[in-house]
Structure 1
Amino acid sequence: MKPQNRESVYRLLEELDGFGYDAVGLDRIWDVLFTDANEGWHWVRVTHYMEIYFLFHVDGDAPGLEARPGGEVAPMDPFGALGRVAARRDPDDAWEPLLESMRNHLRKVKRDWIKANREAVAGYPLDRRRGILPHALVRESVPGLYRIDTDLGTEACAAFVALVESGYFRREESVTVPALSAGEYFRYCKLAYIAGKSPDEEVDESMSGREMYRRFADGRHEGLLDIDEDSTDEFGDWIDGKHPKRSVGGHPWEIKRGGNTTHIDLAVYRPPGRNDAFRIELIAPATGRLAEAVRMALAIHAAGLPIGIADPEGVRKRLLAQDTIGIVPRQETLHRAAQGFDRSRGVYDVMHYSDLGRYRRRLTPFIAWDPLPLLVPKPSHT
């Protein structure tokens, strides 16, 4: 960077030392929300780790900076799609106006930190903030969104909700079996494949469950196809990792292929603390595969076989729109963004604020926004 900009970085870091920070492990973190000369908002995060400072333009495209002892300031190695975009910008052009505006803002906070933070909370753009919104309001207001309940159908939706409300999935006998063979597992698979068949998918119902598993599953079966499919003892040894044909590194339960979060598992495992039973459970975290998994569960249950499904109460909430939608800042990808919300908040699906379209005015009052970070001067005696 230019000498004057390197100097400005270190002046900024010296001035930041007069403000409180968040401590996460060995990181010391300052979040600065400020306006530039054109009244545009920015969020810069400064992290101090060991002897190095890192500057991140959280909601913009300035490349990240590393400030090391001795006055060295250099762009960070880019990571992720946004990092690669930011890396194309000249660091001096990107940071020179930001550094000046940040230092002006620190002086403003020093004078009246409550007023400065109030202005940030009131003025920071909503499309860059994180929050939650009741799903029912989104379903009622925004047309054209994918609906799991519509995909599943009224009858199947009601049947699954009734199962959950009856306490079925909470009873051990409903979701576990005392013994299981590979052949019996493949019977489960056949029921699942037929019930979960999509309109554009061909499933030959004359095939055996084993043949269907070989055709539709991930393929990395860890030896499941190699053991005696009629032996419950061999299956038990295989589950427990004692069978000589058991390998590792595969995905034996991935009965319907997909990405890391878009496949469907029909998993079998020992209940915690027990070696006398097997729990059988469908797992389909992706919204686009959930209706398919529910159809599978209903078909297996209708055949009189025990079956569980991951987070049944959560699935019920999603079908009835009793969960919440996560609102994600515009600068963040939606991929796996639901994982960034605490589980207790009931977020399974996410969207950007702009996705609310012309219904933003109606829905904004119902959004519970996450608090923005405050910048507070250290007490004068510290």
Structure 2
Amino acid sequence: MRNTMTAPVIDRLLFQFDTGFVNARPYSKDVMDAMEPLFSIMADLAPLPKNDEVKMIWLKIPRGTLEDFGDFQQILDDGEVKSREEFEELWHEEYPDEYKWYQLFLVESFNKDGSLRYRGVSVGRNTIVSASFEGDTCSARWEDKSIICLCSLLAEAAAVSMDLLRNGTYGRVIDEGLPYWFRKGVVKRTDVMAVEPEMKDSLFEGLSQSVYERFCELVTTGQNDVSLLRPMKTMTANVFFCACSLGYKACNYKGTDKPLADQYLMHADGRDEGLTGRGSGLHREYGSIDFDSPEEWDKWYHKREHWGGHPWEVCRGGNSTHVDLFVHDSRDISFALAMGRMTEEKAKKARETGGYYFSVAGKAWSRAAEAVNFYVAIHDVGFPVVLEDADEILARFRGEDWIGIVPHDVIPNYCESMFPEEYGCILDFMHVYKEEDAWFKNIQWLPVERAKLKSKM
């Protein structure tokens, strides 16, 4: 089968390589030499703005001919197709467009003396080479032949993209041809809700109208403000457990007739750093403290060497799908003072007027209603408390915020940094499918990041 610069050939070669991070290691001299033309062709490409060791360029590679797609006789013998017509249909099914796009990354770093330390080549999420230049080369491995072939084909494709960049047409080609599943965009939540009313229903599940209206009042009147709180001079474990219990009752959790600490153990993460003496995980051997003693709370909170648990995860869940009830001490200003962020005068005032207060965190789509229930319940009995990301959560409930659209190879979570500040703090991210999402036409696509030539900067 021919090794042509076509999408089926590239895909067959890429299939042999792992996705994700690969530790740097020695490669054979043949592989090291095979990378050289690729790095030479892209020598004038400017690195990424946020990482001066990484370069990226888009490759537009043709799907080629039916012969590039595969060996008809072999596929026929394997039973995948029954005729040449089916073989051609399979080709068009897997490669419906005349071209397929690939994102090529090159990584290159040097030692302080200017000697080459590392080179990496990846296509999308597939790491092709992760080569350390510190030490000797090694003997050939089974994948070397594929690496060498792939580097040659990628160099050929990269040369085309670099020519487009030099003659000023690269940007237009990208804007007009790059498929949406590689792009970022935003869509107003109201546009999605108009087509999918169940989105709004799921957001409000577990949140009563009265609690929602109270939440709106607290946020819109500026009461969700740390500077307006009147912190508590003392704190005990039972005060913390009481605040948890208020939230559990507001969310209609089971077991709210149990003792306070038992409710916490029933619903929280459990890795409580020895707070209850019955938790799990790191430092559970710390032993229980007196739940009514401010002194023992202070010792556990301030003077402990048993970090590493999740004592504030009061409603257990995943990394981003749980609810926290944090306890803060506004008198703990040593770091701000050491960093010069606070004057001695302000530090003195903070120690005199400060104290303990709560903050609720739970901005995940599936937990925001619970977080709001916690916040309103704790606030309305008089405890000092704020809700983190309250403005953004309120905008989500009202449908006034933006939803982030991310490329299909990006997990739609923790993507805040991918979007400009003009869209505010985006809470939710998703993939889109043109054939399935009726609101697709309402997406505002963001400009694709421009590649630049070093020689023209």
Instruction: Name the counterpart of 2:455.
Output: 378
CA RMSD of aligned residues (A): 3.4
Structure-2 separation of matches of 1:330 and 1:54 = 23
Q: How much has 1:135 moved relative to structure 2?
A: 2.1
The answer on 1:189 being equivalent to 2:215 is no
Deviates more, 1:252-261 or 1:330-339: 330-339
What is the letter of the counterpart of residue 264 of structure 1? V
What's the secondary structure of 1:205's corresponding residue?
A: coil
Say if 1:74 and 1:370 are closer, same or farther in 2 by CA, change over 3 A: farther
Instruction: Name the counterpart of 2:94.
Output: none
- Cα deviations by residue, 1:85-130 (Å, 9 ceiling, x for unpaired): xx9x9545655543322223323433x1x22221112211121112
Deviates more, 1:353-362 or 1:293-302: 353-362
Alignment of 1:87-126 (within 5 A): 90-91=146-147, 95-110=151-166, 112=167, 114-126=168-180
Extract unaligned runs of 5+ from structure 1.
77-86
- Cα deviations by residue, 1:132-163 (Å, 9 ceiling, x for unpaired): 22222222234543642355243322221111
Equivalenced residues, count: 355
Instruction: Name the counterpart of 1:83.
Output: none
Q: State whether residues 191 and 439 of structure 2, in contact with CA within 8 Å, keep that contact through their aligned partners in structure 1.
A: no
The answer on 1:209 being equivalent to 2:260 is yes
| Partner of residue 362 from structure 1, selected from 432, 436, 441 | 441
Instruction: Name the counterpart of 2:122.
Output: 56
Extract unaligned runs of 5+ from structure 2.
1-26, 64-98, 111-115, 277-287, 334-349
The answer on 1:19 being equivalent to 2:49 is no
What is the letter of the counterpart of residue 299 of structure 2? D
Say if 1:117 and 1:9 are closer, same or farther in 2 by CA, change over 3 A: farther
| Partner of residue 54 from structure 2, selected from 29, 50, 67 | 29
Structure-2 separation of matches of 1:5 and 1:46 = 15
Q: How much has 1:21 moved relative to structure 2?
A: 3.0
Structure-2 separation of matches of 1:150 and 1:336 = 24
- Cα deviations by residue, 1:225-245 (Å, 9 ceiling, x for unpaired): 222222223323332226xxx
Q: How much has 1:49 moved relative to structure 2?
A: 1.4
TM-score, normalising length: structure 2: 0.68
Q: State whether residues 53 and 68 of structure 1, in contact with CA within 8 Å, keep that contact through their aligned partners in structure 2.
A: yes
Alignment of 1:168-179 (within 5 A): 168-170=223-225, 172=227, 174=229, 176-179=231-234
Q: How much has 1:334 moved relative to structure 2?
A: 1.8
Q: State whether residues 363 and 393 of structure 2, in contact with CA within 8 Å, keep that contact through their aligned partners in structure 1.
A: no
Instruction: Name the counterpart of 1:219.
Output: 270
Instruction: Name the counterpart of 1:135.
Output: 189
Q: How much has 1:178 moved relative to structure 2?
A: 2.6
Q: State whether residues 264 and 282 of structure 1, in contact with CA within 8 Å, keep that contact through their aligned partners in structure 2.
A: yes
What's the secondary structure of 1:353's corresponding residue?
A: coil
Q: State whether residues 129 and 329 of structure 1, in contact with CA within 8 Å, keep that contact through their aligned partners in structure 2.
A: yes
The answer on 1:350 being equivalent to 2:429 is yes
| Partner of residue 336 from structure 1, selected from 399, 411, 414 | 414
What is the letter of the counterpart of residue 30 of structure 1? K
What is the letter of the counterpart of residue 36 of structure 1? I
What is the letter of the counterpart of residue 183 of structure 2? R
Structure 1 or 2, whichever has the larger Rg, is 2
What is the letter of the counterpart of residue 446 of structure 2? W
Say if 1:75 and 1:143 are closer, same or farther in 2 by CA, change over 3 A: farther
Instruction: Name the counterpart of 1:266.
Output: 325
Q: State whether residues 36 and 98 of structure 1, in contact with CA within 8 Å, keep that contact through their aligned partners in structure 2.
A: no
What's the secondary structure of 2:270's corresponding residue?
A: coil
Q: State whether residues 67 and 74 of structure 1, in contact with CA within 8 Å, keep that contact through their aligned partners in structure 2.
A: no
Aligned sequence identity (%)? 22
- Cα deviations by residue, 1:286-319 (Å, 9 ceiling, x for unpaired): 2211111111222223333332211222221222
Say if 1:72 and 1:247 are closer, same or farther in 2 by CA, change over 3 A: closer
Say if 1:336 and 1:250 are closer, same or farther in 2 by CA, change over 3 A: same
Deviates more, 1:173-182 or 1:89-98: 89-98
- Cα deviations by residue, 1:256-299 (Å, 9 ceiling, x for unpaired): 11222222111111126344410211111322111111112222
| Partner of residue 294 from structure 2, selected from 232, 241, 247 | 232
What is the letter of the counterpart of residue 64 of structure 1? I
Deviates more, 1:311-320 or 1:175-184: 175-184
